[in-house]
């Protein structure tokens, strides 16, 4: 089993496309995606992870222990196993299998709608939440066509902070008077 780094080991070497991670880390500019463009993103499994499909339709993913400084400190204090298995149910397993870089988020949502007879909104909400969780754990990354990314060309400097008039005010709770 290969070691998992804290960054995804995904390199999308496709002409005209880049992973969101490459855009963020490479240029420190935050991309903005509309809903339609986000549905055209293609999720890709982290190749550094080992996984297997079980006979009952579930998938088991093996997450290796962290190898960074924090992981070493925690493993010296606590008894930490070298890997942690994560089991995905039938629906999660189907999504995991479709996260191959070939299918878009929209196509995966359509497959869930067809297979489980659910409404489009329910499929999209459940799928996006599941993919966000996988993305936060560096289990998947997303390949987004670069023409869909709107990147701020000029990031704000600390001296160019928004004025107080630009910042939204915190709404007051109903029924409470303002203190003077």
- Is the CATH number of domain 17-152 3.40.640.10? no
| E strands present in the chain | 17-19, 31-32, 42-45, 50-53, 59-64, 83-88, 140-145, 150-151
Query: Quick one: DSSP state of residue 17?
Result: E
Each residue's pLDDT tens digit, 102-136 = 999 999 999 999 999 999 999 999 999 999 999 99
Each residue's pLDDT tens digit, 138-168 = 899 998 877 755 555 555 555 555 444 444 4
Indicate the helix (H) or strand (E) that contains 38: helix 35-39
Mean model confidence pLDDT for the chain: 75
Indicate the domain borders of the chain: 17-152
Contact present, 49 and 61 (Cβ < 8 Å): yes
Q: What pLDDT is attached to residue 38?
A: 87
């Amino acid at each position: 089993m290969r070691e998992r780094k804290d960054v995804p080991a995904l390199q999308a070497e496709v002409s005209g496309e880049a992973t969101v991670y490459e855009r963020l880390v490479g240029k420190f500019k935050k991309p903005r995606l509309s809903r339609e463009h986000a549905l055209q993103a293609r999720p890709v499994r982290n190749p550094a992870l080992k996984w297997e499909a079980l006979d009952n339709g579930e998938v088991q993913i093996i997450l290796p222990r962290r190898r960074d400084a924090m992981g070493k400190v925690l493993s010296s204090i606590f008894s930490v196993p070298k890997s942690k298995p994560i089991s995905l149910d039938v629906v999660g397993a189907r999504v995991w299998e479709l996260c191959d870089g070939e299918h878009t988020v929209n196509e995966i949502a359509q497959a869930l709608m067809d297979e489980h007879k659910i409404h489009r909104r329910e499929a999209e909400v459940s799928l996006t939440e599941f993919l966000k969780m996988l993305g936060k754990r560096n289990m998947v990354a997303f390949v987004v066509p670069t023409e869909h990314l709107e990147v701020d060309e000029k990031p704000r400097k600390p001296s160019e902070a928004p004025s107080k008039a630009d910042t939204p005010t915190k709404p007051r709770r109903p029924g409470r008077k303002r203190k003077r």
